[in-house]
Amino acid sequence: MKKSSFLVVGGNSGIGRSIVDILDSHGHDVTICDKVISEDLSKTHQCFQLDLRDKESVDIFSKELLSELGINNLVYSAGYQENVDILELDINSWENMFCVNVGSAFSISQTIARNIEKQKNGVLVYLSSIHGEIIREIPHYSASKAAQNMMMKEFAYRLATSGGRAFSIAPGSIDTPMLRRDLSTEELFWEGENNIPMKRHGSPDEVAKLFYSILEIEYLTGTVIVIDGGLSLVI
């Protein structure tokens, strides 16, 4: 893939950081947006610190700052997870989750999609989850990922004749800080591994390699690609 400009939302850690690293290694221009920005990234990249739950700030970022940058490739890797029973879940938690995974994703995607249409080239990539289709008793997370997947398909359809593409990558159990917070003890971590047919958690670098390998497949759009070590076969 020729040198391009990318915005990586959630690029400070986990899968997003691995995607920043692989884009850097291939010489692309990478801009990072995250709630927290580490010092090493701020020294080498253009970075924007942004809370994706803040609708007003996201709207200003999308319509004013992002539109001026002309970036025509997006990797949306932001997100968080809460284990809450659906009967105990409050509406604020539901709305915050949808704000991060759907509302802010839409606002940022729309701006970049317009750049794609102007430049006749570009891609929208979303780090989704196998739980966009498979229940795991994380109702607002799973429902928001399902909504994000359908949003991706709408963008893919709209951009198909404009030189643009969109797709989602749906990881299973990946060894990230978010997973370590969820599986907070060594016992839970190893128990989680034993539930996976390949008997191990995936690495962020494996997801990043998948992401980069399919960037050059120009006929691929509007689909959700699973990388989960076979976990979705058994849950």
Domain count, the chain: 1
Helix (H/G/I), strand (E/B), else coil: 161: coil
CATH number of the CATH domain containing 50: 3.40.50.720
In this predicted structure, the answer to whether residue 224 has a pLDDT above a threshold of 90 is: yes
Mean pLDDT confidence for 83-92: 96
User: Who has greater pLDDT, 75 or 2?
Assistant: 75
What is the per-residue pLDDT for 188?
86
pLDDT digits (tens, 9 = 90+) for 177-199: 888 888 888 888 888 899 999 99
Evaluate whether residue 62 is within a structural domain. yes
Evaluate whether residue 233 is within a structural domain. no
Evaluate whether residue 38 is within a structural domain. yes
CA distance 168 to 148: 9
Evaluate whether residue 121 is within a structural domain. yes
What is the per-residue pLDDT for 177?
85
Judging by DSSP bridges, how do beta strands 46-49 and 5-9 pair with one another?
A: unpaired
pLDDT band at 54 (very low <50, low <70, confident <90, very high): very high
Evaluate whether residue 32 is within a structural domain. yes
Mean pLDDT confidence for 59-66: 93
Range of the domain at 99: 5-226
CA distance 104 to 114: 16
C-beta of residue 202 within 8 angstroms of C-beta of residue 130? no
Helix (H/G/I), strand (E/B), else coil: 82: coil
Share of the chain above pLDDT 90, in %: 87
From first CA to last CA, the distance across the chain in angstroms is 36
Calculate the CA 20 to chain-centre distance: 12
Locate 34 and state its tokens.
Answer: 């995250």
Evaluate whether residue 231 is within a structural domain. no
Share of the chain above pLDDT 70, in %: 100
Evaluate whether residue 27 is within a structural domain. yes
Evaluate whether residue 234 is within a structural domain. no
